[in-house]
Amino acid sequence: MSAQGNARGTLVITGASRGIGASVARHAAARGYAVAVNYGSDRAAAAAVVHEIENAGGIARAFAGDVSRESDVVALFAAAVDAFGPLAGLVNNAGITGGSSLVADITATTLERTLAINVTGSFLCAREAVRRLARSRGGAGGAIVNLSSIAARIGGGGEWVHYAASKGAIDAFTRGLAVEVASEGIRVNAVSPGLIDTSIHATSAIPNRLATMTPNVPLKRAGTPDEVAETILWLLSDAASYVTGAIVEVGGGR
């Protein structure tokens, strides 16, 4: 696919086949980005997102890759830039909860997989983005947005402390990387969603979680993927040109 019409450059979005990632992909394409729709295993869902974007006149392509595997991440960024041209930004969206578990019952396998996707994956993708965006390496600068969670602040006790801990790592990573690459023309921020109406609750074996948790949200409703996506697109844009190292909560006041 040609990058003709790619007004804003190439945007890599990990885990973009569904939920928040898919919404970010649609909004980004509408704003003129050429969108690399990364997915881990659901090829059909990623293809559906690409098809929707193309039908609306946007530019997108699906790219398979497990973000916890270094070779997959290297290949993802190389393929995206080869397809669309210079990188403009990254949305580190791929993540898993690791399922619901008390700390007393957690397994090493669950911990390892959760940290590998949520933390190692974000580091590896950011590394590849920085290598392409940094001015000292020939890049033009750009923006990185990481996906954190309000769970990092409230701890996730009784459900997923392991997930909350992984997102706490993302908060620290965001602040540290923002300082490290500010002089390279790269802004790094995080969006911290609260209770959002996506399939993550059902896939974590808590299908009724939205109904159970909504009364605890001051706005008395779950958020939508589009509401999170709009915040992410703002952080990527020039409208947020003086914002870096920020953790922006999208949680309805929770």
In angstroms, the CA 37 to CA 183 distance is 29
Q: Which residues are known catalytic residues?
A: 163
pLDDT of residue 2: 40
| Angstrom distances, CA of residue 231 to CA of 99, 152, 222 | 26, 18, 16
pTM of the complete model: 0.93
Looking at the chain, which runs of residues are DSSP E strands? 10-13, 34-39, 59-64, 87-92, 142-147, 186-193, 247-250
Residue in the block written with tokens 């399939």 = 199
Residue in the block written with tokens 């769970």 = 151
- Helix, strand, coil distribution of the chain in percent, nearest 5: 50, 15, 35
In contact, 3 and 85? CB cutoff 8 Å: yes
In contact, 244 and 189? CB cutoff 8 Å: yes
In angstroms, the CA 246 to CA 227 distance is 18
Per-residue model confidence as pLDDT tens for the chain (254 residues): 344 446 789 999 999 999 999 999 999 999 999 999 999 999 999 999 999 999 999 999 999 999 999 999 999 999 999 999 999 999 999 999 999 999 999 999 999 999 999 999 999 999 999 999 999 999 999 999 999 999 999 999 999 999 999 999 999 999 999 999 999 999 999 999 999 998 775 565 567 878 888 998 999 999 999 999 999 999 999 999 999 999 999 999 99
In angstroms, the CA 133 to CA 251 distance is 30
132: which residues sit within 8 A by CB, 6+ positions away? 77, 81, 86, 87, 139
Q: What end-to-end distance do the CA atoms of the chain give, in Å?
A: 43
Using DSSP, state whether 247 is helix, strand or coil. Answer: strand
Using DSSP, state whether 181 is helix, strand or coil. Answer: helix
Q: Considering the domain 10-249 in this protein, what is its CATH number?
A: 3.40.50.720
